[in-house]
């Protein structure tokens, strides 16, 4: 049965598929060696090569991607960042959430429709693997691009912080009781286009659409083009009215599409600088604390044999994204039926290890992937109790929901929501305090994106419509904070997911690892309200694997 509240989403999906094609890919995930900044280290590549390939499609196309884990020593999986996964929540990719991780020697097939155009990316949502290299651009072209005719060429520009050590060892060192300041690993450098740099041929009379993607695990990137103004046309995967920007701050996982024009007066090679921002609060930190330890420079090249000057920025004042207006002028959703308040701060667990928490609780992986519990617990699937310590919230079908995040930390943090381009209703500057429900004047037509930077000691009010059943995460996109537990789980329209079946290859990956795929968070199918066996304390050691141990009295669906 399809509820009438989902008809708009479905009609858009079917319309997008009218002239659709199928994009097929077969990828082996493998270890390779690479030296993007001159330091050679193991990275995770695709089909024996790195950087990983760009995945391209057109709105309405179906992507069918078969991933085979050839790593040998780690599980894996893929998340398609920013893709809504309309009616295909089980293809979203985070391990222990919408699927079991893919063990070495196994495969999984992801099949989903790219329902909206934009600049996206894919990355592992498993073991902190994307800082190890398992990531790449995902570009969805728009046959009805409202900016068509305003640019001549497209350029993909990826930027990232970079680490010389592998992620598992970095996380192990971070999750030590001695880390009383909750410090994440600090990067060793910056890389652009995965170490290949960015020299763009620049021709008078042409306009270039730069699709800018941050692959970063921790640091944001400041961007400035010498002598050229960026015209922003898209934030993440939402069109905005063309907005002038002299500088941008691109937080981990954010994307900007900007236009840069080469005009008649241009006559040389123009640098553009990218600087890693590792400050807690770049706008308000004391001058002596402002540190830009790593810079990279690309060039708009008019004369390959000419000089290549440096771009120097002495004051960073990036554009405020919340002032950008959606191109379609869509009004704020309403009326609001539910408000979820998430207070973020660092905390310690019962073993004294550093964690990152919403409302005092870190996210803890459970035995059964949350989506599989939703599908297999009948009328109890609207009870958050059965999902364990994954910070679960039930969102009602067709409702409008406000998500309020109070950032109690002294640093800026980027928060990402799976399955949505949320509206940003309120995003005050630093030290505004926590949201208290006052009636601030919200924008009549708020900007939309899927990853927002929330200022220190301040808050954000984000708004969504629940028109897509599924399990979707909300988390900080500093990858190290994900590993510390800074994640909540939004369980949308659970009543529409009862008894949903999942692809057999997805289930087979659970069976191969002895992971239950039915029942509550602990795999109990007989009494799903029985919380014994739930994982209630984060593991003492970080190995990258979740160890499952079920009481003998439990009845589950894992073969003995």
Q: What secondary structure does DSSP assign to 202-224, as a single string? A: --TT-EEEEEEEE--SS-EEEEE
| Co-location of 385 and 494 in the same domain | yes
Position 548 confidence tier, pLDDT thresholds 50, 70, 90? very low
| pLDDT tens digits for range 492-510 | 999 999 999 999 999 999 9
Burial 265-277 (b: 16+ CB within 10 A, else e): ebebbbbbbbbbb
User: Is 530 part of any domain?
Assistant: no
Report the SS3 class of residue 389. Answer: coil
User: Does residue 19 surpass a pLDDT of 70?
Assistant: no
The parent domain of residue 227 ranges over 153-323
What pLDDT, on the 0 to 100 scale, is given for residue 544? 55
What pLDDT, on the 0 to 100 scale, is given for residue 15? 53
From CA 432, how far away is CA 457, in angstroms rounded? 6
Q: Number of helices (H) and strands (E), helices first, in the chain? A: 5, 30
**Mean pLDDT, rounded, of the chain:** 93
| Co-location of 307 and 391 in the same domain | no
Position 285 confidence tier, pLDDT thresholds 50, 70, 90? confident
- Pick 506 or 293 by higher pLDDT: 506
From CA 416, how far away is CA 462, in angstroms rounded? 11
| Co-location of 361 and 428 in the same domain | yes
Answer whether 491's CB lies under 8 Å from 473's CB: no
From CA 264, how far away is CA 166, in angstroms rounded? 47
| Co-location of 249 and 101 in the same domain | no
The two tokens of residue 168 are 């598992």
| Co-location of 391 and 493 in the same domain | yes
Closest to 386 (Cα-Cα) out of 400, 397, 402, 375: 375
Closest to 343 (Cα-Cα) out of 331, 334, 356, 352: 356
Residue 464 Cα distances to 107, 274, 339, 358, 551, angstroms: 34, 32, 11, 19, 39
From CA 382, how far away is CA 529, in angstroms rounded? 12
| Co-location of 212 and 356 in the same domain | no
From CA 273, how far away is CA 229, in angstroms rounded? 13
| Co-location of 293 and 349 in the same domain | no
From CA 115, how far away is CA 62, in angstroms rounded? 9
User: Is 14 part of any domain?
Assistant: yes
- Give 12's DSSP letter: H
User: Is 240 part of any domain?
Assistant: yes
The distance in angstroms from the start CA to the end CA of the chain is 36
User: Is 541 part of any domain?
Assistant: no
What pLDDT, on the 0 to 100 scale, is given for residue 444? 87
Q: How many domains does the chain have?
A: 3
Peptide linkage before 335 cis (omega within 30 of 0): yes
| pLDDT tens digits for range 250-275 | 999 999 999 999 999 999 999 999 99
Name the one residue in this structure whose structure tokens are 């800026």: 412
In DSSP notation, 459-517 reads EEEEEEE--S-EEEEEEESSHHHHHHT-EEEEEE-GGGGTT----HHHHHHHHHTT---
User: Is 516 part of any domain?
Assistant: no
Report the SS3 class of residue 156. Answer: strand
| Co-location of 91 and 112 in the same domain | yes
Q: Which of 459, 476, 502 is the last residue of a domain?
A: 502
* Max Cα distance, the chain (Å): 78
Pairing of strands 153-162, 118-123: unpaired
CATH of the domain at 47: 2.60.40.420
pLDDT (average), residues 357-380: 98
| Co-location of 78 and 134 in the same domain | yes
Name the one residue in this structure whose structure tokens are 């691109």: 250
From CA 424, how far away is CA 414, in angstroms rounded? 13
User: Is 416 part of any domain?
Assistant: yes
Q: Angle at the Cα of 215 (from 355 to 245), degrees rounded to 5? A: 110
Pairing of strands 487-492, 470-476: antiparallel
Closest to 226 (Cα-Cα) out of 279, 301, 319: 301
User: Is 146 part of any domain?
Assistant: no
| Co-location of 98 and 245 in the same domain | no
- Pick 11 or 428 by higher pLDDT: 428
Name every residue whose Cβ is closer than 8 Å to that of residue 368 and which is 6 or more positions away in sequence: 515, 516, 517, 518, 519, 520, 521, 522, 523
Q: CA 8: distance to chain centroid?
A: 25
Put the strands of the sheet holding 458-465 in their side by side order. Answer: 354-358, 338-348, 400-407, 458-465, 422-426, 448-449
Strand partners, 422: 449
- Give 333's DSSP letter: P
Position 17 confidence tier, pLDDT thresholds 50, 70, 90? low
| pLDDT tens digits for range 121-146 | 999 999 999 999 999 999 999 999 99
Least confident of 4-13, 243-252, 295-304: 4-13
Q: CA 320: distance to chain centroid?
A: 20
Q: Which of 473, 502, 531 is the last residue of a domain?
A: 502
- Strands (E) located in 163-269: 189-192, 199-201, 207-214, 220-225, 230-235, 238-245, 247-250, 255-261
What pLDDT, on the 0 to 100 scale, is given for residue 391? 98
Position 437 confidence tier, pLDDT thresholds 50, 70, 90? confident
- Give 367's DSSP letter: S
Closest to 476 (Cα-Cα) out of 391, 412, 414, 390: 414
| Co-location of 100 and 9 in the same domain | yes
Q: Which of 141, 166, 189 is the last residue of a domain?
A: 141
pLDDT (average), residues 219-238: 97
| pLDDT tens digits for range 169-224 | 999 999 999 999 999 999 999 999 999 999 999 999 999 999 999 999 999 999 99
Position 5 confidence tier, pLDDT thresholds 50, 70, 90? very low
- Strands (E) located in 320-469: 338-348, 354-358, 392-395, 400-407, 413-417, 422-426, 448-449, 451-454, 458-465
User: Is 352 part of any domain?
Assistant: yes
| Co-location of 477 and 358 in the same domain | yes
What pLDDT, on the 0 to 100 scale, is given for residue 293? 76
């Amino acid at each position: 049965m399809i509820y009438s509240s989902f008809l708009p989403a479905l009609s858009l999906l079917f319309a997008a598929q009218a002239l659709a094609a199928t994009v097929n890919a077969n990828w082996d995930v493998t270890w390779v060696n690479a030296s993007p900044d001159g330091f050679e280290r193991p990275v995770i590549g695709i089909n024996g090569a790195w950087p990983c390939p760009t995945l391209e499609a057109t709105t309405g196309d179906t992507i069918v991607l078969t991933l085979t884990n050839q790593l040998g020593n780690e599980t894996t999986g893929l998340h398609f960042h920013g893709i809504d996964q309309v009616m295909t929540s089980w293809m979203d990719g985070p391990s222990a959430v919408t699927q079991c991780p893919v063990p070495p020697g196994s495969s999984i097939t992801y099949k989903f429709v790219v329902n909206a155009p934009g600049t996206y990316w894919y990355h592992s949502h498993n073991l902190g693997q994307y800082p190890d290299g398992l990531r790449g651009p995902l570009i969805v072209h728009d046959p009805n691009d409202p900016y068509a005719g305003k640019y001549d060429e497209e350029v993909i520009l990826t930027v990232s912080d970079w680490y010389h050590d592998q992620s598992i060892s970095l996380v192990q060192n971070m999750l030590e009781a001695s880390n009383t300041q909750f410090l994440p690993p600090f990067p060793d450098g910056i890389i652009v286009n995965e170490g290949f740099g960015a020299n763009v041929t620049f021709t008078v009379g042409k306009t270039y659409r730069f699709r800018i993607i941050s692959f970063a695990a921790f640091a944001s990137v400041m961007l400035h083009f010498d002598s050229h103004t960026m015209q922003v046309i898209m934030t993440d995967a939402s069109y905005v009215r063309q907005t002038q920007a002299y500088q941008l701050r691109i937080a981990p996982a954010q994307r900007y599409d900007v236009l840069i024009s080469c005009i008649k007066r241009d006559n040389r090679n123009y640098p553009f600088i990218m600087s890693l921002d590792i400050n807690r609060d770049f706008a308000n930190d004391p001058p002596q604390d402002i540190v830009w330890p790593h810079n990279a420079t690309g060039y708009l090249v008019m004369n390959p044999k000419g000089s290549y000057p440096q771009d120097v920025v002495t004051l960073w004042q990036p554009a405020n994204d919340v002032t950008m207006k959606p191109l379609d002028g869509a009004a704020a959703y309403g009326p609001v039926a539910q408000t979820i308040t998430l207070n973020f701060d660092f905390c310690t667990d019962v073993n004294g290890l550093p964690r990152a928490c919403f409302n005092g609780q870190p996210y803890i992986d459970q035995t059964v992937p949350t989506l599989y519990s939703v599908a297999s617990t009948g009328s109890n699937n609207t009870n958050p109790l059965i999902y364990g310590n994954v910070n679960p919230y039930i969102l009602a079908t067709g409702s409008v929901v406000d998500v309020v995040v109070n950032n109690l930390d002294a640093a800026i943090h980027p928060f990402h929501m799976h399955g949505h381009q949320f509206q940003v209703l309120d995003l005050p500057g630093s030290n505004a305090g926590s949201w208290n429900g006052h009636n601030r004047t919200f924008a009549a037509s708020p900007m939309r994106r899927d990853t927002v930077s929330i200022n220190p000691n301040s808050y954000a009010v984000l708004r969504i419509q629940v028109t897509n059943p599924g399990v979707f995460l909300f988390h900080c996109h500093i990858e190290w904070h994900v590993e510390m537990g800074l994640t909540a789980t939004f369980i949308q329209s659970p009543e529409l997911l009862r008894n949903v079946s999942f692809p057999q290859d997805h289930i087979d990956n659970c069976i191969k690892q002895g992971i239950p795929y039915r029942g509550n968070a602990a795999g109990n199918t007989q009494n799903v309200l029985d919380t014994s066996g739930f994982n209630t304390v984060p593991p003492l050691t970080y190995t990258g694997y979740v160890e499952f141990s079920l009481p003998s009295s439990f009845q589950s669906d894992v073969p003995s």
